[in-house]
Chain A
Amino acid sequence: MMRNWRTQWPFHLMVVPGLVGVLIFCYYPMAGIVIAFQNYMPNRGLFHSPWIGWDNFRYVLDTPDVYRVLWNTVFIAVMKIIVGLIVPITVALLLNEIGKQVWKRWIQTLIYLPHFLSWVILSGILIDILSPSEGLVNAVIKGLGLPAIFFLGDNHWFPFTLVFSNEWKEFGFSTIVYLAAITGINPSLYEAATVDGANRWQQTRNITLPGMTPIIVLMATLSIGNVLNAGFDQVFNLYSPLVYESGDILDTFVYRIGMIDAQYGVATAVGLFKSVVSLVLISISYTLAYRFANYRIF
């Protein structure tokens, strides 16, 4: 034990600043989770408000629409997770194939721009370009001889519209971390492969992809925790009564409940539910990654 301490004390010391940070600003306020089991009254504070057990959870489950809402949330979020992994990885690999540095940099910079525009701004643009009568996208569709699609007003299409518009906004920014992973691959591996006569595709498959694997597994695991986050800002700015059926998600649901009466208990209960689900899923994928890939992501 002492021997451990003698060689390892710098490690403990290095962790201290971060540890203090999370203790103060994360763990201490976490006491607020008790609000989920209370009828919170500000004048009585966190520990003297009346306890009501699982009532806040029951309240949410008793709302007639809640299962539909849960399904919408999971459906949209899962699609976003899958597309959100495939597209940036593909784009990163394609960018890596671009030989000319100038082009590569320009494209990288341009595709990262939409990340900085808010959904309030983008929703106005999307309503225009997705319009069945005048929109650009439908002009193309009609040009192909297909019937126009009411992307924002049709319950079949709306979830997909959310997924793809979100990806359009975010893929450039998400690509950055994969590009960094590719940069970190030891160039001598490529040199050796070239000597062995491997072509670009073989190099990509045998060197680049394996080199990116830790980051890919990590990003996948972390994003699985988002299975109940379907994107409040986006949905809130794009949905309408026409697509409540397919577009109402957990966060818009909580928001609506909170509007008439700020129900801290209910909001906290839903938040806690989301956290627990995330923890379970992330733990499972952590374990799976360790068992099958023999890799500890964190």
Chain B
Amino acid sequence: MPEYAAWPRKVFNAANYALLIVLAIMCILPLVQLLAMSLSSNAAVSAGKVTLWPVGFNWESYKFILSKPEFLRSMGVSVKRLALGVVVNMLITILVAYPLSKEASAFKGRAVYVWIFVFTMLFGGGIIPLYMTVRSLGLIDSIWALVLVPAVNVFNIVILLNFFRGLPKELEEAAVVDGAGQWLILWRIYVPLSTPSLATLTLFCLVNHWNSWFDGILFMNSPTHYPLQSYLYTIIVGLDTLVKSNTDVETLKLISDRTARAAQIFLGALPILCVYPFLQRYFTKGIVLGSVKE
């Protein structure tokens, strides 16, 4: 695209860069503070002296956390959950979104299905009946409870069906003429052409699974089966017990509850923070559409 050299454009560009950079800085500050706190000394953090740079620099919090078997164990549970959960999520999302993206004339009964799904976004029976259901299925204390209960994400389905609709109809018509079935059309045309939206939804699924902590506590019968966020939640809330613990006395001399907490939160967020830049490269692939001349 040719750039417009006119000065209003230049002014706009400068202002735009400035604005977005300021926004970005505003967003990064709390994380920088968290990082600084995790690398500071107990007393400095407890007195609120740490802003953006560590005071009394030390690595103790990280050594302490990484030496704890709970951290790595729950990280393992989380990874397993993500691997299973995201695959199940995305499969169901694609399979349901595709037929629902069709016109009512092409898929009789779609309206009924759509509302069956949308209704579940709005109504729920609450925790107790859900717990009883999971229990009667024998899924308590199993990783499948964490994978299957959130398996159908209607929000993602609705978004994807809108993206599917945005694809040119001509592609499908041409494929039908060539004798391709619906399964083939879905996997060979729709899915490859939707990489940006699929990447977006994969990110949403990853984040959902990564961040949810309550189901871990609800469905798991032992802390040894907790995913990372459930474990972290108990640490963040239960700081009283950590700081006043009569165990690890020597370590607690060096790290306060707050430096350890900061390090836990930072370590806990880090993996998911790294996912986005990786997925970003799929966001520019929309160009493939350009090859489809009408």
Using a CB–CB distance below 8 Å, which chain A residues touch chain B? 4, 8, 10-12, 14-15, 17-19, 21-22, 24-33, 35, 46, 91, 94-95, 97-99, 101, 103, 105-118, 120-122, 125, 128, 168, 172, 176-177, 179-181, 183-188, 190, 194, 199-200, 211, 214-215, 218, 222, 225, 264, 267-268, 271-272, 275, 278-279, 282, 297-298
Contacts and interface: CB of A to CB of B under 8 A. Distances in A.
Interface of B: 1-4, 9, 12-13, 16-17, 19-21, 23-28, 30-31, 33-34, 48, 91-92, 95-96, 98-100, 102, 106-110, 113-114, 116-126, 128-130, 132-133, 137, 148-149, 151-152, 154-155, 157-159, 161-163, 165-166, 168, 181-183, 186, 194, 196-197, 199-200, 203, 207, 211, 236-237, 265, 269, 272-273, 276-277, 280, 283-287, 289-290, 292-294
A183 B24 contact: no
A150 to B, nearest CB: 19
Contacts of B26: 168
Contacts of A11: 98-99, 102, 107, 110, 182
Q: Which of A12, A19, A21, A179 has the most CB of B within 10 A?
A: A21
Contact of A179 (B23, B154, B283): B283
Q: Which of B30, B114, B148, B207 has the most CB of A within 10 A?
A: B30
A25 B269 contact: no
Contact of A275 (B114, B123, B129): B123
B273 A113 contact: yes
Contacts of B17: 98, 103
B8 to A, nearest CB: 9
Contacts of A103: 17
A117 B269 contact: yes
Contacts of B196: 180, 183-184
B133 A97 contact: no
Contacts of A186: 168, 289-290, 292
